[in-house]
Every structure is written in C-alpha cells, then in structure tokens.
C-alpha cells in the first residue's frame, strides 16, 4: 500500500505542477499561457504579410502544442479579440451579444507588425527550447517589453489555485510604467472593452474584489436602455438573468428587446404605473446588471506561482524593460563592432595590397600565414585580433570587388558604423531615458494603429471604456416586494409551496417569521417552502423586533400536580434563530394564549364537596407585564379545570 501511495503522490504532484505551470497560469515574463505563446510563435513563423486561414494556423501550431486543434482555435480567437496581437478578418465572435466565432476554415488572421515591437523574437536575447518532439525550437518565454499580463488579463483554474486578472487600459499602463521609471507616483485600475461601471473600493490593487454594473440610460422614465455591459457579461447572459428575475416576480417589466450589434443596446420597457426609478435598484439586486468579481493576480514568476499586485508588476516590468534594452543595445553593439572590424579588414587587405602576398604561396597554410604576417603592422587599427574566420572571409572576396574597391565608400561606411556605436554607448549610459523614449514611441505607434484600424472600420480604441465610481449598496430586502403567499393548512404544514389552506401573510424569500404554537412553544425561522409546524399553531407574523415588541402575549397555564392556574403577560424582545422557546416553566400545561391587550376570561374550578365557588372571571389587563423568563402569577387557590376566554372579534388567531 505504501508503494502505491508513493506512486499516486508522485504522479499527482507532477500533474499539479504541469497544470499550474504549463496550462492554466500565465507567465509574468510575457503574460502568456503556453498555448498563447505557441500561437504567437506560429504566427511569427508563418508571417508573410498576408492573411492566413485560422484552421491552417491551428494545424501549424500543433507542431508545438500537442493538445488538439480545438484548444488552439479557442485560444487564438480569444487572443485575436484582445486586438493588440492579431489582425483578424471574418467573424471572430461578438463580445456584446455573446455569439461565437465562425469555424476556423472561414476566418483569417495575421500577426500585427507592432507585436514584434514588444515581443522580442531575437534568439540571441530570447531563450528558445526544443518543442515536444525535438524537431523544432520554440520560445521558453518571450521577453516582453510591455506588461502583457495586465494588458490582456488572464483567467485560469489550476490544482489548488486560480488566477483572475482583469485587463487594463493600454495607454494607462504605459503611462504608469513611464512614471515608475521617472520615480513618480502612479496608480492604475482595470478597463474592459465592453465598458460598464466598476467600484474598486475593495480591489486591493488586484487581489480583492470589484463590483461591476451595467450602465443605464434612464432619460425616458418609461424605459431603461442598457448601453454598457458589466465585466464578464454578454447580452445573452444579461437577458437570461432579467428573464429569470421577471418570472420569479422580482422585477416589473413589460418587454425586453435586444438591439446589440457592435455595442450594447438592450431596451427594457416598463408597464403602466411603473417608472425607471422604481426598477433600477431591482435590476441591480436581482439580475446580472450588478456582479461581484473576486480577483487574484497569480502568475508564474521564476518557475513558481506567485501572487503579485498591479503596482508590483508595473515596477517589475519597468526594471525588466531597461534590462531588455541593454541586452538589445549590447547585441547591436557586437554586430556593429563585427561589421566595423570586417570593413577595416577589407580596407587594409585591399588598400595595403596584402592580397598580393598570397599570389606566390603554394599551400593553404602558407596563404593563411602570409595574411597573418601582412596584418601585423596594422594590428592596432583592428577592432579585435585577426582570426582564421577573418582570413576565410578575406579569401572569399571576389577579384572584381577588389579591383572596383571604393575607398571613399568604405570610409563612409566606417564613419556611419562609428556614429552608431557612439550613439549606442550614449544610450547604454542612459538606459532609463531610453526606456522612457521607447514607451513614448510605443504610444505613438499604437495611436497610428488606432487611426489605421478606424480607416478600415475595425474596432480598436485606446480610450478608457470602463467608468470607475463609488456605488451605494443596494439593500435587497428593501427592494424586494412582499408578494409570495405564506400558507398554513389543516395538516400542520406552513410555507410558500403549501397548496390550499389559509393564506397568512405575504412574504419575501428574505423574511423571517415568528411562530407560536398552542403548546406555548415559540421560535423564529426563515421563510421555508414547506415545513411541519403543528396542527395547533396559534400565532404567525413577521419576525421584526419593532413589530413583535408591540405585541403582549398573555399566557394562562396550569400546574398538573396542584392544578393551580397562573397568568403571565410578557413581550418577546430577542431570540436566537431556529431555536425553540417556551412561555411557561417546564412541566406546565398551557390552557390559553392571547395577544389582546385586555380581555376577560373565566376559570372553571373543579367541583368538590362543600365548595360553592365553581367559577371566577378575571380581566387580563389587571395584571402587570413580566419578563419573558419569569414565572406567572397564581390566579386562585382553587383547582382549575378549564379556562374560557371572551370571544375573539378579529386577529391573527387560530
């Protein structure tokens, strides 16, 4: 058994680690899950400037992602709808109506050139690893220059943990990163393309919760037009929730029409006598017009799941951007230095006629030695020492190029390279300023992309769409209407689903009711659909302290041992839910309970020899109120047989 347990434990840990790192949680480095990263790699590989069939992209991506085309297709559509990676053509679904995308064979896409601006594909800077079958290479993670984990958001459920990151506005994120680099204060809040309203009072910088609402147009008091959707909601889901609330009798509406296309437009018409101000709070209370979303910024950092805040992510990317720019500058510097070295070699080789030294050589070794010897006087002019690869490069220069060598052109090339190297050296000393310039340049490029998309009638806007404001909490108990009948039948059943019987009250699902039985047992409980209380229920009313405290309960009980009769008048001032209480002391026998402030009642005494007094009448109003837990007052020293109260004219008595 121990061996089997060890196998299960090992396999479970491996499975959990795989799901967390390779399926559900995005990597902080590029903000992408593995399937998204492989889609981007495939698009970069296939990019020729033209549109590609989505089905074809999915097929190519399967070389890197061994989980079937369905998961790739869904992730590609979702990524394309983020609108900063992929240019799309065809029906990629509608985020307002909830309609799905067309099949992959009908729609096309291509990578946006700007994606190459913030996802570093240079293999000298980004680390590439073999794919699952070892035939190709794929990026382990991209080195992203922008905090994509904030720009596109993420949602995923892994073993024992989950992530929910809301998307942020692109311009605001870049601006926050610029302020961070400059050492200024910054703050960012979520922004979703479908708009809506959000209350971020408890957002906790990405690890709390938000309240999101639909945006209403109530300019016409006889109808409500929903113009913006809450976060993570489409028109279909919203209509379903409105329909369910209407059927449950929680909102009063006449009709609902959905005119949503490329924006939300849901029109709710109201019945006669009902106005928008009467329904607005009910829509927030009972439909998806208001939702609470819990957020958790769980990401993979250094191969481990870590919870971070939006502020920490911005700071991380600001620091990372300078490191990426430094690596790119160093790489460019090495390339230019190599280019300068080769141009210098060629100039000296041709200008100083070193190539003449090889004419008399008979072996390749002699040729190499001759070139090394010829360059010795010019060693200080070289960028680095001469190598065998340099010699091979010089030997491959065509005779035609040697004869047509332009010394002035070579000098111009050397001067251009030298200027570039000086500029790189200057930038390396001012990496923070370079990072700020890069981010400001990205803002201009995204502005241009926005303009180009607008000219092509494509949806892409950099402006904030979600409005941040403080909400006043909607009290559901205050909004709900008491219109559900609470019935009690002759079998002793009480509830909202009891058929037949007598209707006692109109209630809501949030009401609590006080139940008093003829046995003197009482208690408070939530409204139920159907429960057995007793065939001898005496009193039932709303368990509201202001209401109940006004009622005086008069309880007449008898001691079974002595048959002496007692009266107790008290009020109910407090209780614990779903707990039984008794008006009379334990073991006493309840003869009568009444809720009238005053009434007459007659005690019938036990007949005994030489006892002439057989009955006696009392008025309940003559007795003082006592505490709920106190004992009653003895009415007489005669043994009581029964109690006869004066008739009840009206009241909630049984």
Q: What are the residue numbers of the active site?
A: 106
Count other C-beta atoms under 10 Å from residue 436's C-beta: 19
304, two tokens: 């481990």
CA 157 to chain CA centroid, nearest Å: 12
Pick the closest to residue 620 from 652, 598, 646, 647 (CA basis): 598
Q: How far apart are CA 320 and CA 330, in angstroms?
A: 15
DSSP class of residue 622 equals G
Measure the CA–CA gap between 86 and 107, rounded to whole angstroms. Answer: 13
Residue with tokens 């903000």: 31
- The answer to whether the Cα torsion of 144, 147, 153, 155 is positive or negative is positive
State the DSSP H helix or E strand holding residue 374, giving kind and residue range, or none if neither.
helix 364-375
CA angle, corner 635, sides to 633 and 640, nearest 5? 125
Rama region for 566: left / alpha / beta (φ>0; ψ in -120 to 50; rest): beta
**DSSP state, 381?**
G
- Cβ atoms of residues 490 and 532 within 8 Å: no
| Residue pair 486/506 in contact by the 8 Å Cβ criterion | yes
Tokens of 448: 């241009």
Q: Which of 197, 209, 144 has its CA nearest to residue 174?
A: 144
Q: Are 297 and 309 in contact, with CB atoms under 8 Å apart? A: yes
Other CB atoms within 10 A of residue 33 CB: 22
The residues, any chain, with a CB within 8 Å of residue 243's CB and separated by 6 or more, are 256
Distance from C-alpha of 51 to C-alpha of 58, rounded to nearest angstrom: 14
Annotate 38-73 with b (16+ C-beta within 10 A) or e (fewer). Answer: bbbbbbebbeeeeebebbebbebbbbbbeeebeebb
Question: CB 644: neighbour CB atoms within 10 A?
Answer: 14
Are 617 and 564 within 8 A, CB to CB?
Answer: no
Q: Residues 614-620: contacts with CB within 8 Å, 24+ apart? A: 618/567, 620/554, 620/567, 620/569, 620/594, 620/596
């Amino acid at each position: 058994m121990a061996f089997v347990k060890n196998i299960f434990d090992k396999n479970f840990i491996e499975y959990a680690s795989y799901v967390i790192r390779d399926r559900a949680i995005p990597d902080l480095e590029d903000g992408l899950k593995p399937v998204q990263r492989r889609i981007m790699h495939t698009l970069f590989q296939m990019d020729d400037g033209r549109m590609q069939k989505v089905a074809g992209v999915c097929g190519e991506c399967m070389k890197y992602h061994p989980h079937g085309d369905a998961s790739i297709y869904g992730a590609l559509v979702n990524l394309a709808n983020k609108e900063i990676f992929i240019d799309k053509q065809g029906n990629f679904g509608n985020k307002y109506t909830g309609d799905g995308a067309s099949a992959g064979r009908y729609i096309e896409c291509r990578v946006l050139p700007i994606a190459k601006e913030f996802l570093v594909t240079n293999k000298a800077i980004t680390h590439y690893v073999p794919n699952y079958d070892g035939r190709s290479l794929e990026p382990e993670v991209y080195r992203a220059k922008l905090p994509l984990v904030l720009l596109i958001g993420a949602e995923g459920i892994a073993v024992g943990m989950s992530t929910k990151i809301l998307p942020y506005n692109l311009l605001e994120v870049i601006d926050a990163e610029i302020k961070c680099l400059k050492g200024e204060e910054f703050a960012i809040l979520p922004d979703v393309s479908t708009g809506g309203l959000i209350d971020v009072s408890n957002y906790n910088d990405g690890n709390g919760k938000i309240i999101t609402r639909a945006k209403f147009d109530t300019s016409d008091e006889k109808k409500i037009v929903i113009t913006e959707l809450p976060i993570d909601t489409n028109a279909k889901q919203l209509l379903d929730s409105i329909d369910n609330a209407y059927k449950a009798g929680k909102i009063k509406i006449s009709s609902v029409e959905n005119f949503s296309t490329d924006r939300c437009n849901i029109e709710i018409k109201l019945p006669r006598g009902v106005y928008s101000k009467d329904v607005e709070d009910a829509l927030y209370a009972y439909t998806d017009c208001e939702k609470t979303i819990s957020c958790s910024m769980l990401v993979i950092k250094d191969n481990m799941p870590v919870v971070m805040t939006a502020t920490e992510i911005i700071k991380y990317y600001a620091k990372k951007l300078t490191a990426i720019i430094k690596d790119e500058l160093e790489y460019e510097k090495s390339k230019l230095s190599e280019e300068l070295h080769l141009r210098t070699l060629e100039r000296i080789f041709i200008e100083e006629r070193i190539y003449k030294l090889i004419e008399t050589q008979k072996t390749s070794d002699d040729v190499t030695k001759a070139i090394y010897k010829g360059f010795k006087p010019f060693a200080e002019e070289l960028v680095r020492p001469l190598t065998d690869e340099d010699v091979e490069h010089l030997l491959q220069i065509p005779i035609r190029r040697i004869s047509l060598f332009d010394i002035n052109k070579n000098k111009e090339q050397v001067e251009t390279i030298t200027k570039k190297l000086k500029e790189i050296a200057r930038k390396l000393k001012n990496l923070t300023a370079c990072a700020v310039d890069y981010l400001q340049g990205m803002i201009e490029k995204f502005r241009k992309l926005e303009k180009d998309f607008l000219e092509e009638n494509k949806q892409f806007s950099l402006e904030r769409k979600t409005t941040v404001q403080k909400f006043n909490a909607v009290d559901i108990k205050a909004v709900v209407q008491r219109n559900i009948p609470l019935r009690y039948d002759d079998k002793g059943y009480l509830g909202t689903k009891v058929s037949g019987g007598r209707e006692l009250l109109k209630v809501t699902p949030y009401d609590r009711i006080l139940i008093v039985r003829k046995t003197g047992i009482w208690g408070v409980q939530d409204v139920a659909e159907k429960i057995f209380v007793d065939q001898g229920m005496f009193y039932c009313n709303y368990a509201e302290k202001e209401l109940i405290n006004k009622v005086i309960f008069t309880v007449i009980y008898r001691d079974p041992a002595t048959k002496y009769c007692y009266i107790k008048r008290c009020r109910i001032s407090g209780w614990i839910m779903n707990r039984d209480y008794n008006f009379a002391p334990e073991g006493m026998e309840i003869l009568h309970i009444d809720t009238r402030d005053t009434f007459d009642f007659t005690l019938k005494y036990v007949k005994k020899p030489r006892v002439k007094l057989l009955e006696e009448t009392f008025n309940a109003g003559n007795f003082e109120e006592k505490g709920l837990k106190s004992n009653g007052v003895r009415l007489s020293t005669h043994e009581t047989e029964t109690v006869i109260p004066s008739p009840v004219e009206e009241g909630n008595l049984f």
